[in-house]
Amino acid sequence: MGRKWNNIKEKKASKDANTSRIYAKFGREIYVAAKSGEPDPDLNQNLKFVLERAKTYNVPKHIIDRAIEKAKGGSEENYDELRYEGFGPNGSMVIVDALTNNVNRTASEVRAAFGKNGGNMGVSGSVAYMFDATAVIGVEGKSEEEVLEILMEADVDARDILEEDEAVIVYAEPDQFHAVQEAFKGAGVDEFTVAELTMLAQNDVELPEDAQAQFEKMIDAIEDLEDVQQVYHNVDLGE
């Protein structure tokens, strides 16, 4: 796999922190999760997951509290969860997840971000079949062997366990996300470098230098859109 998840997260956080966009995106996601069920993470698994992710990005407490209070206050603001699929330069593949209160606006903006940067939107299902939904959880201070032992003692299955930089990354089925975290917490580990539910490409591709530059420009344009929450792709950017 070799995705270098910590490096990817740090790059995105560094880029987004300059504009506070990452906080705005999390604020929206927390609000939607809190409004979709109980505004209490102990009673709402979706909210619990979003808060775990927010913690790894150091989202300020006041952002989290404000979003939950907004949901508690019965705000009438509603968002649709949308997924777009498309192609970048040299047939590269991209999945875009969005939360929007204006479907037409979001579709138009995502389509334009693709089109202006050498890509094009595809139909639903044109790309997703080449990706696997995957839970990715990273911890520091443990070896691969120690992590394997922790998971085995908790009777939790993982697809793979890899050491990446100074962290050990666990790849598991999406429905094992909370089980993996609880196994670590039971072993005294409650800080995670990565805690994501992602779409992992079955096969990464490498692009020529000029195509890669164009691809990165396209991804940046898509990620900068206000309604876009997550972007997944199959390009090896050498992170």
DSSP characters over 131-168: EEEEEEEEEES--HHHHHHHHHHTT---SEEEEETTEE
142-181 pLDDT, tens digit per residue, is 999 999 999 999 999 999 999 987 899 999 999 999 999 9
CB 124 within 8 A of CB 95: no
In sequence order, the 6+-apart residues with CB closer than 8 A to the CB of 215 are 88, 89, 90, 92, 117, 118, 207, 233, 235
Residue 37 in domain: yes
Residue 121 in domain: yes
Segment holding 231, helix H or strand E: strand 228-233
**Do 209 and 93 share a structural domain?**
yes
174-223 pLDDT, tens digit per residue, is 999 999 999 999 999 989 999 999 999 999 999 999 999 999 999 999 99
Residue 238 in domain: no
**Do 174 and 141 share a structural domain?**
yes
Beta bridge partners of 80: 100
Question: If DSSP codes are grouped into helix, strand and coil, which group holds residue 1?
Answer: coil
**Do 9 and 67 share a structural domain?**
yes
CATH number for position 145 = 3.30.70.980
Residue 8: predicted pLDDT: 56
Segment holding 95, helix H or strand E: strand 93-100
59-92 pLDDT, tens digit per residue, is 999 999 999 999 998 788 899 999 999 999 998 9
Q: Which domain holds residue 197?
A: 130-201
Nearest to 202 by CA among 133, 96, 130: 130
| pLDDT surpasses 70 at 7 | no
Helices (H), 19-154: 21-35, 45-56, 61-72, 103-115, 144-153
CA 171/CA 180 separation, integer angstroms: 10
**Do 191 and 134 share a structural domain?**
yes
**Do 139 and 114 share a structural domain?**
no
Tokens of 130: 């080449």
Residue 149: C-alpha distances to residues 31, 66, 152, 183 (Å): 37, 39, 5, 10
- Total count of domains within the chain: 3
Amino acid at 148: L
Residue 188 in domain: yes
**Do 124 and 139 share a structural domain?**
no
Residue 146 in domain: yes
Please tell me the pTM assigned to this model: 0.89
CB 10 within 8 A of CB 47: no
Residue 21: predicted pLDDT: 83
Beta bridge partners of 199: 133
| Entry field: residues in the chain | 239
